[in-house]
Structure 1
């Protein structure tokens, strides 16, 4: 399993429910900021991107980066313990 940071620049009409279903189907996923999720999955960055673009508008941006297991944060939306254990 690998951990990925998924960042999106989303428009006002963004369908959060559809995105959450899609990203959660990939493995264990947590939203950490308004436009950022951490996903623990067997998939590659390319596979994650390819699945998520199906629920994004053409004007929305997406970045998928494999975690290097080092990070620092403040006031995230997810559980701190989960992020520390899975980053």
Structure 2
């Protein structure tokens, strides 16, 4: 299943390197927008949330949702579009 991960990190000057490293632990991931990622995982949205919640502050916001059947985009690189076409329906 493909999940979208979106976040707002509200602590100025904080380094969120650990959060990004944890998102990249999912074998298949895509990141072309500032705070939006897509990952392929057999976990549930709640399990992904619980995993990533350890790497954000209490005043940050995190949203995980399973993607739907269709998508549309504009302005991505060929590599970005290829990832979306190859992974969207997993």
Partner of 1:70, secondary structure, is coil
Q: Which moved more, 1:24-33 or 1:34-43?
A: 24-33
Alpha-carbon RMSD:
1.8
* Structure showing the higher strand proportion among its residues: 1
1:65–1:4 CA distance, 2 compared to 1 (3 A):
same
Count of equivalent residues: 86
| TM-score for both structures, normalised by structure 2 | 0.82
Q: Which runs of 4+ in 1 moved over 6 A?
A: none
- Structure 2: 5+ residue runs without aligned partners? none
- Please give the residue correspondences for 1:62-73 in structure 2 after superposition, counting only pairs within 5 Å: 62-73=62-73
- Structure 1: 5+ residue runs without aligned partners? none
- Residue in 2 that maps onto 1:13: 13
